[in-house]
A and B are shown apart, each in its own frame.
Chain A
Amino acid sequence: MTTAADGGDELRLELHGITKVYPSVIANEDVSLSVKRGEIHAVLGENGAGKSTLMKMIYGVAKPDAGEMKWEGEVVHVENPAHARSLGIGMVFQHFSLFETLTVVENVALALPDNPDLNQLAEQITEVSTRYGLPVDPQRLVHALSVGERQRVEIIRCLLQNPKLLIMDEPTSVLTPQAVRKLFDTLRQLAAEGCSILYISHKLDEIQELCHVATVLRDGKVTGECIPAEETPKSMASLMIGKELPIPEHTAPSEPGEVRLQLNRLCKVSDDPFGTELQDIELEVRSGEILGIAGVSGNGQQELLYALSGEEPINDADAIVICGRASGRDQPDRRRSSGMGFVPEERLGRGAVPRMSLTENALLTAHQAGMLKRGMIQFDKISAFARKCIDDFNVKCGGEEHAANSLSGGNLQKFIMGREILLAPKLLVVAQPTWGVDVGAAAFIRQELIDLRSEGAAILVISEELEELFEISDRIAVIAEGRLSPAKKLSATNIDEIGVWMSGMWDQSAVAETAHD
């Protein structure tokens, strides 16, 4: 995969000296790149390197302060996304831009220039979705879709407009290995048809497999351009982060200690008509181990997490036992005082309040750690806590007084992780620990989780990234259609087996086998 598809050297997009300055930070400085017709061009960089800003300027969401953009040889000023779409530029955002109260087909219709017939459009969606292996029901409401499914809608929405340039911002973070392969087939097919693709990612293996050319950004500047097939992941990583990629050290598992989390035939009917019903979930997480739960998104992970966190308590108190206490009916703060920490999938708006400062966001869950005195907030203590969190977990930010929504996704995740870890939980439940986080930060977060478990915490990680689970877990289980498979020791299984289990097929022999472990 080193040569672009037929179409010669015709340049579709050229950027020259693009600079974008925000009041507090230079997002892009003198960035130049060019994309040929039918080329899959990777833009590689850590969080905050300026990838998303650059793409937003191409798509007309932001305007460059300096520099020039040429589209098919002519200088253009993209006024807004509608203008970009009329030029033939489509973009799939990392943070989705869908209306939650509308159906899939209505959301797609909104992005189209004129008023399409919804029934006809629904058929088109079904057609595109089967063709590209992106199954989604056009009549479902978006709020009922999982993250993975929402992304499919975004991709389909772009594909329906037959773009000449497709920008994809971290597209594979929520897809199964099979779906990633299908997506790559789709993208290759599109490129062969002459569509250019700008592929933003930090996953080096994917870029090597898929992309013809890569432009590497660091701190808003281009630090290199390379042909991924001729590089090693190591060499690309060093271009990207300026040093060698840290690899988590997985110390040998200690003897598992006491049971910190026990689920006894946990059942839960979802309030959501499109939700997944949890059926008889049995699980044990012990001190000193990381239990990973794999699964394709939308198979009950959200329901399980809401039940575990206490955001949706259940009637049967004994179904969830946290550090020896029957906690099914407890609210989240009560569970926290039992020793549980929780990192949710959504960082902005759930794990953190977007408009509040990091200090105030620390208070969100740290208030039980001596931050209050007769109901009054001890501001000096809480800001010291926030500062420690920023320092210990390398959170890149303007300071603890800056708002949570001024941080990049990865840095906010580090902050939330840090906040929960600094509270020294006996049990930590983490959803998608490194979703949309760059390699450097992801490796850091994984290392922190491993260290925390080595210090004796029990950790439950629910993730849709299999490689991640295999990197950090001691035992692994799979959730499919609201049922949980038995957990297997990592040494006793492999990615292929777990991949099969992800479709719900763990047979009786597997159960018998684990019983002997």
Chain B
Amino acid sequence: MIRLERRPEASQVMSYASPLIAIVLMLIGGLLLFAFLGKNPLEGFKVFFINPISDWYGVSELFLKATPLMLIAVGLAVGFRANVWNIGAEGQLIVGGIAASAVALYFHEAEGAHVLILMVIAGGIGGMLWAAIPAFLKIRFNTNEILVSLMLVYVAQLLVSWLVHGPMMDPDGFNFPQSRMFEDSALLPLLSDENRLNLAFVFALGALLAGYIFMFRSFAGFQMQVAGYAKDAARYAGFSAKRMIWIGLLSGGAMAGFAGMSEVAGPMGQLTEHVSSNYGFAAIIVAFVARLNPVGIFFASLLMALLYLGGEQAQQYMNLPSSISNVFQGMLLMFLLGSDVLINYRVCWKEARV
């Protein structure tokens, strides 16, 4: 008989092994899913997980997709460690994208590095402003930041939709709901001529490093972790709860806003209704799979990016619906939450007592 027995101390090993178990279970679940859909599971596995990264261009696309995920997940993790639950990174990404696009369109036909620099600043501030709303409301009226930040996602989606149908629509665009294509001066420089990977990837790696230092070396990061583990202890030590709410939400907002900028000034080159491909939500899963640890976020973002690419391939070559990516993402999160039981419990194989 299988029994769960409580561990005397939470297992460190398991807290890192649990995401790996979840990944394996997700793969098994995926193979079963392919089989149920009448596809050859091994063929499905190959199309989904091998084909997208079978050449260097594929790998560069993987890094490109992973870039916004890394940026957002590390920003969110800062807040999550203090139990500040910013679920609205998707909206903050959109608003960051809008703000950066506004700068790009304002400086249309202008030359010089200042355009990009201003776009980065505008993107970050846009995301922060959107995240400041739930922060302010939580501090002032004790509202729930989960609900407020989530609802603001839909407001942001409607906002971008209105803008590309109206004020920001391309005047020569045959009424397509999208902005003008950006000039070269408003596009992030590519790292190589062979692919689409751009400077934002370097920024993302920098953000991971900065996040690591903040979380594990700085006193502010320590304070946030204390607040996350034991609120009363944070109050006893005199750590300001308001400050943590601000840091938690604004860091997520800034990073999501910058990710939005990196999309419009990167692979998209313009503002459309579909600035984001649910990166803001996928990054939440990334942050949890990574145990809110920047090193983990690097790998989890690559995995999540692979699910995006694999989903596209499966759509193209196996006639599967595009939602297959979401199914994999969902399975990953579900199996992770399930395997987390093993952090505090261990499985015992014992004979049932009579």
Contact = CB atoms under 8 A, between A and B. Distances in A.
Given A336-B238, A365-B237, 9 more contacts: A63-B5, A311-B235, A331-B240, A352-B233, A355-B229, A356-B225, A364-B226, A375-B219, A403-B10
A354 B219 contact: no
Interface in A199-246: none
A353 B219 CA distance: 15
A333 interface: yes
Interface string B237-266: 111100000000000000000000000000
Contact of B353 (A77, A335, A353): A77
A377 B219 contact: yes
Question: Chain B: interface residue count, which band?
Answer: 20 to 34
B81 to A, nearest CB: 12
Given A22-B8, A23-B8, A363 B232 contact: no
Nearest to B353: A77
Nearest to A364: B237
Interface string A1-42: 000000000000000000000111000000000000000000
Contacts of B218: 375-377
B220 A375 contact: yes
Contact of B217 (A377, A403, A405): A377
A353 B230 contact: yes
A495 B280 CA distance: 65
A350 B219 contact: no
A403 B226 CA distance: 13
Contacts of B232: 346, 349-350
Most A CB contacts (10 A, CB to CB) among B9, B237, B353 go to B237
A234 to B, nearest CB: 35
Interface string A336-370: 10000010101001111111100010011101000
A87 B5 CA distance: 22
A77 B213 CA distance: 51
Contacts of A406: 8-9
A515 B353 CA distance: 72
Most A CB contacts (10 A, CB to CB) among B217, B230, B232 go to B230
A405 B9 CA distance: 8
A372 interface: yes
B226 A356 contact: yes
A331 B239 CA distance: 9
B238 A332 contact: yes
B215 to A, nearest CB: 11
Contacts of B5: 63
Given A332-B238, A333-B238, A372 B233 contact: no
Nearest to A342: B236
A310 interface: yes
B212 interface: no
5 contacts: A23-B9, A349-B233, A351-B233, A355-B229, A363-B219
A334 interface: yes
B309 to A, nearest CB: 37
Given A22-B8, A336-B238, A355-B10, A377 B222 contact: yes
6 tightest A-B contacts by CB?
A: A333-B238, A332-B238, A350-B232, A353-B230, A364-B237, A22-B8
A353 B235 contact: no
A103 interface: no
Most B CB contacts (10 A, CB to CB) among A309, A356, A372 go to A356
A70 to B, nearest CB: 16
Contacts of B222: 360, 363, 377
B207 to A, nearest CB: 18
A77 B352 CA distance: 12
A291 B229 CA distance: 34
Nearest to B8: A22
Contacts of B353: 77, 79
Contacts of B226: 353, 356, 364
B28 to A, nearest CB: 30
A344 B236 contact: yes
Nearest to A343: B236
Interface in A315-337: 331-336
B199 to A, nearest CB: 28
Contacts of A79: 353
A396 to B, nearest CB: 16
